[in-house]
Amino acid sequence: MSDNKYEPLYDYLIKQTRADFILTFEEIEEILGFALPRSAQRAEWWDDGTPEHPKLQAEAIRQAGYDSRRAPEGGRVRFRRFSTLPSHSRGRRIS
């Protein structure tokens, strides 16, 4: 996962024992060591990237084995380990 500025988030997630948890944007920024872009306020920013439009943050999260969704009230993100998601909700893993 070289050259991905979201690697600190990957490192954090890969060490997690929790299967389902929420982090605030401030907690994520502390993990990353930099501020999230303004676009992170939009729910779709946390959605999966596509091969045509890859998203570095989505790649880091998925490679760590998690799915992410911005909380409806904003300012927080829910992370769920793939093994806890219904099979129809699991996305494609990036290797």
pLDDT tens-digit series, residues 23-34: 999 999 999 999
- C-alpha span between 19 and 81 (Å, rounded): 5
Token duo for residue 21: 């948890």
Confidence of residue 85 (pLDDT cuts 50, 70, 90): low
Distance of alpha carbon 51 from alpha carbon 49, whole angstroms: 7
Strand partners, 76: 24
pLDDT band at 52 (very low <50, low <70, confident <90, very high): low
**CA 94, CA 40: separation in Å to the nearest integer?**
21
Question: What is the pTM (predicted TM-score) of this model?
Answer: 0.81
What are the structure tokens assigned to 73, written together?
């009230």
